[in-house]
């Protein structure tokens, strides 16, 4: 197979783009897709300060490098969940990346905060991923606001977004569909959120990480069964295989045709947490309550 | 496995209903689902005259028998497409059914009408299924209106409806989504349309046909590749297997949550065909033009 652009031997075949690329031309394609997403949704400019949520996995690490290489003002935030045998390794990869590429990194350590995930999960007896997600969101927003960042970026890719969309559509979860987009505006004192990788698939990001020699964490969190939307990803991949470009069409079609019909319901009024100032329905926010404030 | 209702040995397992039934209790379940659909959407009453489109296949033949057994005033309409080796057989099954159950049947013969499908397809060079569907719709409506029927029923089942919905959602075909429902009101001089089997799966209908000893046509039309939505049916069956009841939830959720958001666009104004009176955008309708009227 030949590279579509330069006719050299191709290394990557992309059926959804009806193309194959050599390594160099794939990287051009990759940055092109990323730029297209950033520009199309006016995610951020080079003058703005981006806080990037990094986990140590391929998506967030790849986005980190790509934003650095494209010259954006990006600072990574790693939340050390305090899960032994997992968090240490993730943290090591993230710190090593930061040193190798001389890229700014902030770390929040949930042990130091007094709420490591294993203890919280044991105490609350609720699904680990839901609780953990809520705590991470808290720190991403708080660090972003305190640090004067303009926008919070995450590494969600096309497979994440379409499998979530698929699940929300199969069960017509209208309130979740309202919240699904590559850009969520700032509201209730929370940071603006963007997903610059929404046009790129897991496969494309893995190829990028491989070509760039990024050393990322491949093991999954022991608390998640790794099952989040994974069966929907499998089904969508089968459909994509039969009809290339279905995933991106499904997602873009949703943004164009359905999303404008969904009117955001008026939310309950939010207060600010008496302890930390974070938006909350009650008097004290979820994280401060976990920390023992009443 | 035991029957959920009477504890006798079960013959059918229905994972989506978390149930298994013996033959007699399955038939009760089956009529119950059918009645539920008819009542929920006020499809028709026992005082109304129903025209049922029959093809000779399992769905329309099963609906025919079920409506007869439930005491509805139903007349079947078979359109003989003039496809040699296929239409003769289908017609034979339909006529035999009519005689066996003493059930009223009307037949339109496209050869007699001068527009057998093979000739039309050869002439128009367009996809056979689209052309054939349009011609059948014409005769179903015309026979229904001329015969003074109140409603036109078709044998579409849950798999038909959800695979169509799935396709329309994956590609966000909003104008098709607007037209997807178990009941479509009469408009533009066309008959009201209902799909009483929308709650029942292909498997459930096949079990009904088998238990009732219905002799139906199993071969597919040689002009269709049998591929209409069939890959989507396969994907949905896989999802249903992993999460029973997804199909019915997907469809009912659509009716409840999305459909009300879709506002019907104002249609272009329809005229009546100068030759036959059928609604048409032009001066002469599609079928009359096929017949040579200008």
Residue B57's pLDDT is what?
A: 96
Q: Are residues B52 and B196 in the same domain?
A: yes
| Cβ-proximal residues to A266 (8 Å cutoff; 6+ apart), any chain | none
Residue B144 CA to residue B99 CA, distance in Å, equals 22
B239 phi/psi in degrees, rounded to 5: -65, -40
Q: Are residues A273 and A291 in the same domain?
A: yes
Residue A40 CA to residue A35 CA, distance in Å, equals 8
Q: What is the DSSP string of B86-154?
A: THHHHHHHHHHHHHHHT--EEEEETTTTT--HHHHHHHH-S-HHHHHHHHHHHHHHHHHHHTT-SEEE-
Q: Are B254 and A174 a contacting pair at CB < 8 A? A: no
Q: ipTM of this model?
A: 0.85
Residue A100 CA to residue B294 CA, distance in Å, equals 77
Tell whether B213 is covered by a domain. Answer: yes
Q: Are A171 and B235 a contacting pair at CB < 8 A? A: no
B125: left (phi over 0), alpha (psi -120 to 50) or beta: left
Mean pLDDT of B263-275: 78
Q: Are residues A147 and A285 in the same domain?
A: no
**Over the Cα atoms of chain B, what is R_g?**
20
Tell whether A190 is covered by a domain. Answer: yes
Low-confidence ranges of chain A (pLDDT < 70): 225-228, 264-268
| Cβ-proximal residues to B98 (8 Å cutoff; 6+ apart), any chain | B76, B104, B105
Q: Are B169 and A172 a contacting pair at CB < 8 A? A: no
Q: Are residues A288 and A249 in the same domain?
A: no
Which residue among B171, B242, B249 places its CB closest to the CB of A171? B249
Mean pLDDT of B110-134: 92
Which residue among B171, B238, B246 places its CB closest to the CB of A249? B171
Q: Are B169 and A174 a contacting pair at CB < 8 A? A: no
**Over the Cα atoms of chain A, what is R_g?**
20
Tell whether B32 is covered by a domain. Answer: no
| Cβ-proximal residues to B130 (8 Å cutoff; 6+ apart), any chain | none
Which pLDDT band holds residue B16 (cuts at 50, 70, 90)?
confident
Q: Which chain A residue shows the shortest CA-CA distance from B162? A: A170
| Cβ-proximal residues to A47 (8 Å cutoff; 6+ apart), any chain | A73
Q: Are residues A162 and A181 in the same domain?
A: yes
Tell whether B84 is covered by a domain. Answer: yes
Nearest to A169 by CA among B254, B154, B47, B3: B254
Residue B281 per-residue DSSP state: S
Are A159 and A236 in contact by the 8 Å Cβ rule? The answer is yes
CB pairs under 8 A between A and B: 42
Nearest-neighbour CA in chain A from B255: distance (Å): 10
Q: Is residue B226 pLDDT above 60, yes or no? A: no
Q: Are A169 and B172 a contacting pair at CB < 8 A? A: no
CA distances B30 to A36, A221, B148, B157, B278, Å, are 53, 46, 30, 13, 37
Q: Are A171 and B250 a contacting pair at CB < 8 A? A: yes
Residue B201 CA to residue B221 CA, distance in Å, equals 21
Nearest-neighbour CA in chain B from A112: distance (Å): 41
Quote the tokens at residue B276: 């036959």
Q: Are residues B171 and B274 in the same domain?
A: no
Tell whether A3 is covered by a domain. Answer: no
Q: Are residues A252 and A127 in the same domain?
A: yes
Q: Are residues A287 and A165 in the same domain?
A: no
Which residue among B250, B256, B261 places its CB closest to the CB of A170? B250
Residue A223's pLDDT is what?
A: 86
Quote the tokens at residue A221: 């969190």
Mean pLDDT of B111-125: 93
Q: Are B235 and A238 a contacting pair at CB < 8 A? A: yes
Name the residue range of residue A185's domain. 38-224+244-263
Residue with tokens 């194959």: A20
Which of B172, B232, B253 to substitute to test the interface with A, most A CBs within 10 Å?
A: B172
What is the percentage of chain B residues whose pLDDT exceeds 90?
Answer: 81
CATH number assigned to the domain comprising residue B99:
3.40.50.620
Residue B271's pLDDT is what?
A: 84
Residue B111 CA to residue B127 CA, distance in Å, equals 20
Q: Is residue B144 pLDDT above 60, yes or no? A: yes
Tell whether B180 is covered by a domain. Answer: yes
Residue B55 CA to residue B53 CA, distance in Å, equals 7
Which of A165, A168, A169 to substitute to test the interface with B, most B CBs within 10 Å?
A: A169
How many structural domains compose chain B? 2
Residue A98 CA to residue B135 CA, distance in Å, equals 67
Q: Are A235 and B231 a contacting pair at CB < 8 A? A: no
Q: Are residues B118 and B43 in the same domain?
A: yes
How many helices (H) and strands (E) chain A has is answered by: 11, 10
Angle at which helices A158-170 and A230-242 pack, to 10 degrees? 100
Q: Are B169 and A171 a contacting pair at CB < 8 A? A: no
Q: Are residues A259 and A280 in the same domain?
A: no
E-assigned strand segments in A206-284:
271-272, 279-280
Quote the tokens at residue B31: 């009529």
Residue B61 CB-half CA count within 13 A: 27
Which pLDDT band holds residue B231 (cuts at 50, 70, 90)?
confident
Which residue among A169, A235, A249 places its CB closest to the CB of B235? A235
3-state secondary structure of A20: strand
CA distances A98 to A27, A115, B205, Å, are 21, 25, 61
Residue B68's pLDDT is what?
A: 98
Q: Which residues of chain B lie closer than 8 angstroms to A236, CB-CB?
A: none
Tell whether A65 is covered by a domain. Answer: yes
Q: Are residues B285 and B213 in the same domain?
A: no
Q: Are residues B102 and B204 in the same domain?
A: yes
Which pLDDT band holds residue B227 (cuts at 50, 70, 90)?
low
Q: Are B171 and A253 a contacting pair at CB < 8 A? A: yes
Tell whether A158 is covered by a domain. Answer: yes
Tell me the pLDDT tens digit for each residue of B31-74.
999 999 999 999 999 999 999 999 999 999 999 999 999 999 99
Residue A120 CA to residue B169 CA, distance in Å, equals 40
């Amino acid at each position: 197979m030949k590279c579509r652009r330069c006719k050299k031997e191709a290394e990557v075949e992309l059926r959804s783009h009806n193309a194959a690329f050599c390594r160099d031309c794939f990287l051009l394609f990759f940055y092109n897709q990323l730029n297209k997403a950033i520009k199309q949704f006016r995610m951020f400019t080079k003058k703005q300060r981006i806080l990037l949520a990094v986990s140590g996995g391929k998506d967030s690490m790849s986005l980190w490098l790509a934003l650095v290489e494209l010259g954006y003002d990006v600072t990574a935030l790693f939340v050390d969940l305090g899960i032994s045998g997992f968090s240490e390794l993730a943290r090591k990869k993230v710190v090593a990346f930061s040193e190798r590429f001389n890229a700014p990194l902030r770390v929040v350590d949930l042990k130091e905060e007094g709420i490591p995930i294993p203890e919280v999960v044991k105490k609350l007896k609720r699904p680990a991923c839901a609780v953990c997600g809520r705590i991470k969101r808290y720190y991403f927003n708080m660090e972003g606001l305190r640090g004067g960042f303009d926008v919070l970026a995450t590494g969600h890719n096309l497979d994440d977004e379409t499998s979530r969309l698929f699940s929300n559509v199969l069960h017509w979860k209208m309130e979740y569909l309202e919240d699904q987009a590559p850009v969520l505006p700032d509201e209730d004192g929370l940071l603006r959120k963007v997903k610059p990788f929404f046009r790129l698939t897991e496969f494309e990001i893995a190829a990028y990480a491989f070509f760039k020699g990024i050393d990322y964490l491949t093991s999954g969190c022991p608390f998640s069964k790794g099952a989040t939307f994974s069966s929907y990803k499998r089904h969508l991949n089968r459909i994509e295989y039969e009809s290339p470009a279905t995933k991106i069409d499904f997602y873009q079609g949703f943004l164009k045709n359905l999303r404008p019909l969904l009117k955001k319901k008026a939310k309950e009024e939010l207060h600010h947490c008496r302890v930390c100032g974070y938006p909350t329905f009650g008097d004290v926010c979820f994280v401060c309550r976990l920390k023992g404030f009443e």
